[in-house]
Structure 1
């Protein structure tokens, strides 16, 4: 019985990976600069700054696994666009300044979130009631897998 469970888990894993890959590809397509006005990296940075107000460029670079100069250029573009503001330099490390979303950055993030939720809700609405029930039932185990 345990080997059957492992075999089934492996099959479900492959199917789940394929489904997520397709879903993520479609979500990214919806997040292209032509659709959002921002490159994907800058969209992700808006989310990161919103979730971690006061974060610095070096911390963002580590979080996104990119080099600090690359992150500096992305942050500069967001600052120039009026979506992110730099705080005063850190009194201990003058090279570091905190980052926060501006009102325009918060508004853009709300618009992006609403757009993505609408995109997903429209696709879910195409499912049958039984499929929606199955999807709803899958949320808890998927969350457990993600947090494990």
Structure 2
């Protein structure tokens, strides 16, 4: 029992120590999307649509845990910017179903955001020593496992 209590205590302490750094890192990476003239949510939505083209507004709203009217407003804005277009789903029996796809302009915007984010992070990583970069490489694998094993909070 003592060993389990110690492990739980250490795990909670590690979580409390990691959380502020992860949040600040996330904030810095979101700012790189904003520098491109759009919101980080725009980049997030474009990334989702790039991975799953043909999603409808309702499906996208559900995935992102947003209301349909709010998602509809975001999609309209992305369409106005020329980043997203509506398309009849290919091979779909219901020809009335309209899905969303990322345009070339949207793909280029997303590529630029991702490059800015990667450049910003690479600059910071270059300032670290070899041991710290190796530790972060191991941590990145562990963080991926955490993300893959957990469902999104409701």
TM-score under structure 1 length normalisation = 0.89
Q: How far has the Cα of 1:93 moved from its partner?
A: 7.2
The residue number in structure 2 matching 1:126 is 127
Relative contact order (C-alpha < 8 Å, sep 6+): which is higher?
2
Does residue 1:24 correspond to 2:26, yes or no? yes
CA 1:29–1:111 in structure 2 vs 1: closer, same or farther (change >3 Å)?
closer
Q: Distance in 1 between matches of 2:72 and 2:48?
A: 14
Q: Distance in 2 between matches of 1:141 and 1:88?
A: 40
Unmatched 5+ stretches in structure 2: 150-154
Q: RMSD of the alignment, in Å?
A: 1.7
Q: How far has the Cα of 1:55 moved from its partner?
A: 0.5
Q: How far has the Cα of 1:91 moved from its partner?
A: 5.9
**Residue 12 of structure 1 is aligned with which of 6, 11, 14?**
14
Judge conservation of contact 2:88–2:95 (CA < 8 Å) in 1. no
Judge conservation of contact 2:32–2:113 (CA < 8 Å) in 1. no
The residue number in structure 2 matching 1:137 is 138
Report the secondary structure of 1:36's partner residue.
Answer: coil
Q: Distance in 2 between matches of 1:84 and 1:29?
A: 22
Q: How far has the Cα of 1:29 moved from its partner?
A: 2.6
Does residue 1:53 correspond to 2:60, yes or no? no
